[in-house]
Amino acid sequence: MAKPLQVEVYNPNGKYRVVSTKPMPGTRWINLLIEQDCRLEICTQKKTILSVEDIISLIGDKCDGVIGQLTEDWGEKLFSALSRAGGKAFSNMAVGYNNVDGVLTETTAELAASLSLSAARRIVEADEFMRAGLYDGWLPHLFVGNLLKGQTVGVIGAGRIGSAYARMMVEGFKMNLIYYDLYQATRLEKFVTAYGQFLKADGEQPVTWKRASTMEEVLREADVQGPVIDEVALVEHLKVNPMFRVGLDVFEDEPYMKPGLAEMKNAIVVPHIASASKWTREGMATLAALNVLGKIKGYPIWSDPNRVEPFLNENATPPAACPSIVNAKALGLPVSKL
């Protein structure tokens, strides 16, 4: 018989049993659940990804709600187990369909900008070179990279995050913009136009924007010559084109990389950390916990999942609503009038 998973229990006499499959950043989410009479059990097992069987054992015979993670295999088997245990709610600490939302825009865009700058200026290569004790004096050709100013940044998908990234690259590095989206990014276009006029009035070269008709046009005009998603082809392109550089935060077969990618000096690879700022991760934990709490308490759905600041204000009581169930309308759930 398998050993029970390690669990840390808060408020053991609480009325509602809530399980978190992982410890999450911050303590506010814990306190909010305890204050509403929840018994909170946090799995502290030293295991990166819990199996379906692990989570079923955590759910047990009685469980009112679960806070899970994007790496877990939540399907019919787990939801059936939660339903049999009397569960009313499951919330995923992630962004996307039916998950927490509204806290990742700037954080994710900042990482994209960081990867862009690091790749262009070969920051990681230079850091490794320095740490290896190889630097013995300045040389004219040492780690020569690419200037971003005046170049073209291409954005495929000009939603919240894509637009925030575009603004950072345009305003921060005075880059021109080409983007592709099914819908016109009017606010982004107005921003780039206004910033271009500001630069022109200041005697500088104005920036421009263009909406592409195809994704291929973005890749061509932003001077991206290699494949974007196919990691096997990307590795080959990186080998043949050493001046081509890429920064990646997610991967086709996560957590694994395709063979050869790790050896490419012109690739920067980071382990899915786009949302990993303290404020964002703590906010994600809070929203996930409040989603579960709201369903347990029978609260309505917050009317705008992109306007979640009232739930993140540590100096105020959160509204009596589920903050970020983004497919609430499709599910026919009642919406708060707050």
pLDDT digits (tens, 9 = 90+) for 6-45: 999 999 999 999 999 999 999 999 999 999 999 999 999 9
Question: In 3-state terms, what secondary structure has residue 256?
Answer: strand
Contact 238, 244 (CB under 8 A): yes
Q: Is the peptide bond before 206 cis (omega within 30 degrees of 0)?
A: no
DSSP code for 261 = G
Contact 312, 103 (CB under 8 A): yes
Contact 300, 322 (CB under 8 A): yes
Lowest-confidence range among 59-68, 173-182, 220-229? 220-229
Contact 24, 285 (CB under 8 A): yes
- Residue 110's pLDDT is 95
* Residue 127 in this model has a pLDDT that exceeds 80: yes
The radius of gyration of the chain from alpha carbons, rounded to an integer in Å, stands at 23
Instruction: Quick: pLDDT tens for 243-257.
Output: 899 999 988 888 899
DSSP code for 228 = S
Lookup: tokens for 261? 């990618």
Question: In 3-state terms, what secondary structure has residue 155?
Answer: strand
Give the global pTM: 0.86
- Residue 174's pLDDT is 97
CA atoms within 13 A on the CB side of 303: 3
Residue carrying the six token digits 């005075």: 174
| Cα 119 → chain centroid | 20
Tell me the one-letter amino acid at 212.
A
Q: Which residues pair with 43 in a beta bridge?
A: 7
Instruction: Quick: pLDDT tens for 55-74.
Output: 999 999 999 999 999 899 99
